[in-house]
Structure 1
């Protein structure tokens, strides 16, 4: 079982929409984040005068459901952020809406450290595939001794732990379901049973599994080739998956999933499979039983809730 972690959050101005700091026990890293509207306050913070890594995050104006992310490093982050805040025609970046800065409480991060971290983080963000990187290809930086590289690998893992807590998911690995042809491990409390979605009229059959809060459609599942329903936000995601090769032609107006793919909800997964808005809580059925996802989840919640006799009076 995964061990719990403590993360200390501090609302700098007392509001959840303002500046926020985060720290993990026994980690020298320090996180400062806030919206672009608070940039004038953020750049006055002492952290911004230190050496660090920073992330600029915003939505894609072309409708891509993945956020746009720029990963950078600097000896003086305040100066760099001021440059990024300029109008785009003056060398700035217009897309970002939120900034996150990672520095060290003991101020032992050097320029060499952050350049190496930047390289690792760009590479990792590209491999995870949860965002659209503005940086492009990562430049490999190997100018660190072996011991420092080990320290930076640990530092990066703490960054990847704390960012999702702050709503920045682009470095979070997807917890993969067990092999598509295998049987879920009954000891894995994070994995659900297999679910099946079938539309025999169109020849569609997809298999899904919920793991660690995400709903996966498994490799080899079949989906409708074209979006068939009225316009919906999932339609852009359907087109995006085709462009990225997650969905490829399988003949007979069908497409096939080339890999396990994580969706934010059963309904999002069902919509991509059937090519229209769908209620995944009804459409996905537990394999072999016909129980809907919603009914299965209700059983889990009911079994976990204390009975009236056990409840305190």
Structure 2
């Protein structure tokens, strides 16, 4: 079982939409985040005068599924953020970037991060974000910085893991590892609380059969599953998601008016997955059925809750 972690959050101005700090016990890192509208207050914070890593995050107008992200480093984050806030018309090296709506910066409480450290961190984080594929990076290709001593590289690898732990808690998912359940081994007793049984969804009239699984809070539809060839439901709900997956090449044209999942795809809920497979709004709690027991997703989930309650009462 994965060990629990304690993260300390602090609302700087007492509001959930303002500045927020985050720290993990026994980690020297310090995280500060907030909306661009609070930039004037954020740059006055002492953390902004330190050496650190920062993330600029905003929506991608061409892709509703993934944000735009810029990853940068500076030995004076405040000055760099002011540069990025300039109008796009004067942008150049380090100049304005109009896409971002939120900023997140990571510094060190003991101020032991050097310029060499943050350059190395920037390189690692750009590589990780590109591999995870949950965002569109503005940076382009990461530079290689390998001139750190071996001990420092180990320290920075640990630093990156803490960043990847805390950022999703703050609503930044672009560094969160994407599981690959269709290529994972069968569940063992140690993982059966994390991964669900495999589910199927069938629409025989249209020759559709899809398989999926819930893991780490997301519902995955596996590569090779079939979906409706076109969206036939009302023009709301998950239509934009369906269209986006077609544009991204996740859903490719198949035979007999179907589409095929070209890769494993995660969804926020079984209903979102069921809607994309069916080409119309669908109730994922009743549409998906466990391969081993025939239970619907809703029935399986209710059974899991009952088992947990009974075990807690023993």
Tell me by how many angstroms 1:282 deviates.
1.6
2:264 aligned with 1:263: no
Distance 1:54 1:33 in 2: 9
What are the within-5 Å matches in structure 2 for residues 17-36 of structure 1?
17-36=17-36
Distance 2:72 2:196 in 1: 38
User: 207, 216, 230: which one pairs with 1:226?
Assistant: 230
2:286 aligned with 1:282: yes
Residues 60 and 11 of structure 1: CA distance in aligned 2, closer, same or farther (over 3 Å): same
User: 103, 111, 119: which one pairs with 1:107?
Assistant: 111
Number of residue pairs matched by the alignment: 309
Distance 2:188 2:223 in 1: 18
Distance 1:246 1:152 in 2: 34
- DSSP-derived class of the 2:111 partner: coil
5+ residue gaps in structure 1?
A: none
Moved more, 256-265 or 238-247: 238-247
- DSSP-derived class of the 1:67 partner: strand
2:144 aligned with 1:140: yes
Distance 2:235 2:97 in 1: 31
8 Å contact kept, 2:66–2:134: yes
Distance 2:187 2:266 in 1: 17
Distance 2:205 2:173 in 1: 37
Distance 2:133 2:237 in 1: 19
Tell me by how many angstroms 1:255 deviates.
2.0
5+ residue gaps in structure 2?
A: none
User: 133, 136, 151: which one pairs with 1:129?
Assistant: 133
Tell me by how many angstroms 1:33 deviates.
0.6
Given the two structures, how large is their TM-score scaled by the length of structure 2?
0.92
2:48 is matched with 48
1:71 is matched with 71
User: 208, 231, 246: which one pairs with 2:212?
Assistant: 208
User: Which stretches of structure 1, 4 residues or longer, exceed 4 Å deviation after superposition?
Assistant: none
- DSSP-derived class of the 1:184 partner: coil
Distance 2:62 2:265 in 1: 22
User: 183, 187, 203: which one pairs with 1:184?
Assistant: 187
Distance 2:249 2:116 in 1: 37
User: 293, 297, 312: which one pairs with 1:293?
Assistant: 297
8 Å contact kept, 2:275–2:282: yes
Given the two structures, how large is their TM-score scaled by the length of structure 1?
0.92
8 Å contact kept, 2:63–2:244: no
2:172 aligned with 1:153: no
Aligned CA RMSD, in angstroms, stands at 2.0
8 Å contact kept, 2:182–2:264: no
